[in-house]
Homo-oligomer: A and B are copies of this chain.
Amino acid sequence: MQFRNFKMVGYTVYGRGSFNQLDEILEPNRKNNLPMIFLLDHFFKDKDLVNRIPLKGNDKLIFADVTYEPKTTYVDKIASELKEEFGSVSGVIGIGGGSTLDLAKAVSLMMTNHGSSADYQGWDLVKVKGVYKAGIPTLSGTGAEVSRTTVLTGPEKKLGMNSDFTPFDQILLDPELTANVPKEQRFYTGMDCYIHCIESLQGTFLNEFSKSYGEKALQLCREVFVEKNKWDKESDDKLMMASYAGGMSIAYSQVGVAHAISYGLSYLLGTKHGIGNCIVFNQLDEYYPEGVKEFKSMVERNEIHIPQNVCSGLTEEQFDKMIDVSLGMKPLWENALGPDWQKIMTRNKLKALYKKL
């Protein structure tokens, strides 16, 4: 099809305190006494949120270790342990940042699809609906709550299980849950949304659907990171909508140079997506002059530290590996630089960029 037929999330609830409705929302989705599995970001291990999870009967709470972004081996391990313990489950509920949400989507799919999640890294390889899945972001910016992917690091590649079966059946957007995010983390993840909007709005792939969402997301990012003088409840409300709108804008757009370079970085060094994008975008004046200027002013205004010299001491082989991974992201480069991107972004040019990081 020329235009993607975009599978939407099934149900959306948005509101301060809407987390209190979770039990009621899950109830009709409990099947045959099978448990609901709550995958909670390990950040909340000793936080109050643990006590608010509406556990019932044989429900299970698993703390998701998201020290690193989710690996296919981790997805496979959780899914096979759940199958062993319960046979099947009523559903999987992800509560956390983008990594936890992606993990929940992938585990849901691997409860019904055979083999390893690595077999499904790519486009439309998943052929069977997963179990019921719900996503509850506690961090705003990734757009993972509405995307049709789950970014996974596999044995061979960092690539999602992109399919119509991947989006959540339910998302619950409660900005109260983001109130205690550490300031630097909030900034890095918020910038994932900001950078992605700059890349998509300035890209060569775009239509009015994605433009409308992208412009709105960008405006909301500016309201919270540029215009407002202090962080308050309204900031959390707005950044949660920025993340949602940024995720929706992906439907008919693509990210660009920052994401392509940052993928290489995170593949080799395990740099997390939000901070990785910031490290890269900070050096992209040549490609996104106005966006980078505004980014730097937001960094200053919000008193954020962006790491530098992260590639110092890497070997030639390591640079080559990052370049291989990055140049593999063809649609991103084409969106950013047009059909002749390979003439513009040579290996040498890209190596020089990595050396600047």
A-to-B contact residues, CB < 8 Å: 1-18, 20-21, 24-25, 170, 173, 175, 207-209, 212, 215-216, 220, 234, 237-238, 240-241, 244-245, 251-252
Contacts and interface: CB of A to CB of B under 8 A. Distances in A.
Most chain B CB within a 10 A radius of its CB, from A13, A18, A25, A208: A208
A109 B16 CA distance: 33
Contact of A175 (B24, B173, B208): B208
Contacts of A9: 8
A2 to B, nearest CB: 7
A169 to B, nearest CB: 10
A196 to B, nearest CB: 17
Most chain B CB within a 10 A radius of its CB, from A12, A18, A220, A240: A12
A75 B4 CA distance: 32
20 contacts: A1-B24, A2-B21, A4-B13, A5-B21, A5-B25, A6-B11, A6-B13, A6-B14, A7-B11, A8-B9, A8-B10, A12-B251, A15-B209, A173-B209, A175-B208, A208-B234, A208-B237, A208-B241, A209-B244, A212-B216
Nearest to A208: B237
Contacts of A238: 208, 212
Contacts of A252: 14-15
B173 A245 contact: no
A237 to B, nearest CB: 4
Copies in the complex: 2
Given A2-B21, A21-B2, A15 B216 contact: no
Contacts of A20: 2
A11 B251 CA distance: 11
Nearest to A10: B8
Given A3-B13, A5-B170, 4 more contacts: A2-B20, A3-B17, A14-B208, A15-B209
Listed from nearest, the 10 A-B pairs whose CB atoms lie closest are A3-B15, A14-B209, A208-B237, A5-B13, A212-B241, A8-B8, A3-B18, A216-B216, A6-B12, A1-B21
Contacts of A17: 2-3
Nearest to A18: B3
A200 to B, nearest CB: 15
Nearest to A3: B15
